[in-house]
Structure 1
Amino acid sequence: MRTDDALAAVYQHYLTMEPYSQQDEHTYQLSDKVGSGNIKRVTTYSGIEILFSQVEYHQPFPTYFASETPIVELQFALTGERHVDISGKDYSLSIGQGALIFIHDFEAWFHPPAKELYTSFSLGIPVPLFNYAAAQLSKKSSIHFKQVLGDQVFKPLVFQLDSRTQCMIDSLIVALNNNDRSCLLMEAAALEILNRFMTQLFDLAPIPAGFSREDIRKLYLAREIMEASMVDPPSLLCLSRQVGLNDFKLKKGFKALFGSTVFEYLRQVRLNHAMKLLLNQGNNVTEAAVTVGYNNISAFSQQFYRKFGVKPSEVKKIY
């Protein structure tokens, strides 16, 4: 049984209001009279709501929605810009932005763009799951839903979407559109995204001895650079210059903060992404290897087997 059926009920109610109607277990279609497109939805075992919206309205079509249920949601604006009036406050995300939002007992008017493709991705997080994750991550401080929201009805924490998260979102979108999706892998990816932004937005990463908060910011930047340049990564010396840390501090801090060396981390990112390509897309082994930066297919297969205990060719046969 899921941890928060109330959250699922809120999403179900919203997604079956005019101008949407449910087509099957995971698809909510926009009325042809209003526009084109749909919303895909999967609810995981722990109650996480995973949604991908890809719609285009013919004309402006504001809709009203209200709920007393407390909600935590990770939102990502991919194309287009939707404006929302939430209890009298205007809220919107620009393309390439994300937000961790906290909301309770609210009224909202949604204003989607007209004659423009609007795509967004979101993760609805049950409040008990957020509070549990916060308790596990914040050993020295108390972070929970009520504390973050305070006496407000709505609070967004806005951030820029990075390349690694974009990769994970792309994989989840592919899975949402795949009838042979693995909901277990989808839940794991959703939790990884949640963990990533909770750690960053609430400054929950431990600070190694001899490092400052500014050093930690630079180490996160180094991680983003390595993830974005998976195919052609910079050398350690070049990376240290880009982020403004000497190579010794970069190596020591990266290991302390992320639990691996820079290039061990890069290898894990490559192999994880290769697994998602093999599971969710039509890539063969060679295509997956080259996409994540391997020119030596034999070396790729050996490292893949050491990490996952299965050969990449066998993954394609199974899935």
Structure 2
Amino acid sequence: MQTSGAPVDDALSGLFRTALAHAGAPLSEAYRRLREDSRCISAPAIGLYGRRVAVPGDADEGWWKMISIRDEIFVAISECRYARARTECVPPEGFVEFHYLVTGPAHVGVDGDDADSVQVEAPNFIVCHQGAGLPYQITCPQGPRRALGLYVSSRYFARLVDALGVEGEAIRGRLAAVKDDELYNVQMRLTLDALQAIEQLLASAHEGVRELLFVEAKCMEILYASVGVWADSLRHGAPDGILSSRDLMLMERARMMIDADLQKSMTIPDLARAVGTNASKLKRAFKFLHGVTVFEYSLRRRMHEALRLLADERQSVGQVAAAVGYQHQTSFTTSFRDFYGFAPKDARQLRGADRANAGG
């Protein structure tokens, strides 16, 4: 990853840190540059500022709406349809991150490697806190993405947890246990009220300072509901986890092995032995990081590759079925139709942007 002077290709393949600052930039620097932009809308008296940022690319790929609440909570709203996968490095800044993904998977991996997947399907959300010495990568693949991210400063979050008193002790303990080379990561179910607040926020028609005020109000509602769910889940012994950089690398190795040979379907024990872990840990950690099972991830990759071979390589349905590990063309046709909503023969009519707009 470059740390300064990002070339055009970085902007086209990166996310909002890269678009506003440069590849590898801290989130705080990206928002500082946002604040200095003449197009930024601000309410200095109450510490709010932000604006909509177009996704850089060759075509209209949507936008990110970025708003700061007193530089203590950074809000990033994504309404995008990416024409290509986008990746950027996330340096450690001490944030407690809350991610709500309404449409489209995301991937997380250690810096310098391709990404491990973290997919969260509504009404779930993910809480993430990285150790002080663990940069990681966020990768959003080609296709639609509709999401909300709240990046809460350690200072603000400490005050929040203190205000909760006894209820916040379990959260404080979990985060205190995160070592410099570890990533805390937990998925939980949203309450109905929080889910409705997220939908209202994403559908907001407010503009100017009114929008800043609306976003602040809704984000506080979502944040406090999420912290309540988190505290309740810990009190009732719900599973969460702390993953080391080695764990992330092993899951990345497993993902790469799946990607490397889509014709081959390895069993869980075989895949675990191949990457140097045990089957039980592989199943738990892979599902924890990806939000999907090994089988579900493999299916998604096979379908994406099948679409590429049909639309770009113009291969026959029979050739594509064999290339992605199906012995029978009829089974492949059924799986493809279930995944995308149209038949493989129709995929050959798709090109470029049409592929990005396809389902799945």
> Under a length normalisation based on structure 2, what TM-score does the superposition of the two structures give?
0.47
The question of whether the paired residues in 2 share the 8 Å contact of 1:99 and 1:156 is answered with yes
Structure-to-structure mapping, 1:203-214, within 5 angstroms: 203=232
- Whole-Å separation in 2 of the counterparts to 1:51 and 1:79: 15
Q: Which runs of structure 2 are paired with 1:239-254 in the superposition (5 Å)?
A: none
- Alpha-carbon distance in 1 for matches of 2:61, 2:16: 20
Is 1:129 aligned to 2:151, yes or no?
no
User: 1:168 corresponds to which residue?
Assistant: 197
Superposed displacement of residue 12, structure 1:
7.2
Relative distance call for 1:163 and 1:93 in structure 2 (3 A) is: same
CA shift for structure 1 position 101: 1.3
Identity of matched residues, % = 15
The alpha carbon displacement at 1:191 in A equals 2.2
| 1:33–1:185 distance in 2 versus 1, CA, 3 Å | closer
Cα shift at 1:69: 1.4
**Of residues 54, 72, 84 in structure 2, which corresponds to 1:47?**
72
Tell me the number of residue pairs that the alignment of Structure 1 and Structure 2 aligns: 196
Measured at CA, do residues 108 and 184 of structure 1 come closer, stay the same or move farther in structure 2, by a change above 3 Å?
A: same
Classify the secondary structure of the residue corresponding to 1:181.
helix
CA distance, structure 2, for counterparts of residue 204 and residue 162 of structure 1: 12
* Pairing of 1:151-300 with structure 2 (within 5 A): 151-175=180-204, 178-203=207-232
Sort the Cα spacing of 1:199 and 1:163 in 2 relative to 1 into closer, same or farther, 3 A: closer
Tell me whether 1:93 sits opposite 2:119 in the alignment: yes
Q: Is the Cα contact below 8 Å between 2:109 and 2:116 reproduced in 1?
A: yes
Task: Indicate conservation of the 8 Å contact 2:170/2:234, yes or no.
Answer: no
**More displaced 10-residue stretch of structure 1: 15-24 or 89-98:** 15-24
How many Å separate the matches in 2 of 1:77 and 1:35?
Answer: 21
Hey, what's the Cα distance between the residues in 1 that align with 2:231 and 2:211? Answer: 30
User: Do residues 38 (structure 1) and 63 (structure 2) align?
Assistant: yes
In structure 2, relative to structure 1, the CA distance for the partners of 1:46 and 1:113 (3 Å cut) is closer
Q: 1:48 to 1:66 in 2, by over 3 A?
A: closer
2:81 maps to 56
Contact 2:107 2:139 in 1 (8 A): yes
Q: Where does the alignment leave 5 or more consecutive residues of structure 1 unmatched?
A: 1-10, 207-212, 215-319
What one-letter code is carried by the residue in structure 2 that aligns with 1:44?
Answer: I
- Which amino acid letter does the alignment assign opposite residue 102 of structure 1? H
Change (3 A) 1:137 1:205: farther
Residues 1:118 and 1:137: Cα distance change in structure 2 (over 3 Å): same
Cα gap change, 1:176 to 1:45, in 2 (>3 Å): farther
The change in CA–CA distance for 1:184 and 1:111 in structure 2 (over 3 A counts) is closer
Aligned pair partner of 1:107 in 115, 135, 153: 135
Which residue, out of 12, 15, 20, partners 1:16?
20
Alpha-carbon distance, 1:16 to partner: 1.5
Q: 1:14 to 1:128 in 2, by over 3 A?
A: farther
Provide the C-alpha distance between the structure 1 equivalents of 2:186 and 2:128, rounded to a whole number of angstroms: 6
| Partners of 2:103 and 2:144 within 8 A in 1 | yes
Paired amino acid for 1:74: F
The DSSP-based 3-state class of the residue aligned with 1:203 is: helix
DSSP-derived class of the 1:139 partner? helix
* Cα contact 1:74–1:98 (8 A) shared by 2: yes
> Over aligned residue pairs, what C-alpha RMSD do you find?
3.5
By how many angstroms is 1:18 displaced? 6.7
Give secondary structure in 1 for the equivalent of 2:159: helix
Q: In the alignment, which of 144, 148, 156 is matched to residue 117 of structure 1? A: 144
| Inter-CA distance 151–107: structure 2 relative to 1 (3 Å threshold) | closer
Given that 1:39 and 1:53 are in contact with CA atoms closer than 8 Å, whether structure 2 keeps it comes out as: yes
Q: Deviations over 1:208-229 (max 9, x none)?
A: xxxxx69xxxxxxxxxxxxxxx
**Whole-angstrom CA distance in 1 between matches of 2:71 and 2:175:** 21
| Structure 2 portions without partners, runs of 5+ | 1-14, 24-29, 41-50, 238-360
Asked if structure 1 preserves the Cα contact closer than 8 Å seen for 2:18 and 2:88, the reply is no
**1:16 corresponds to which letter in structure 2?**
L
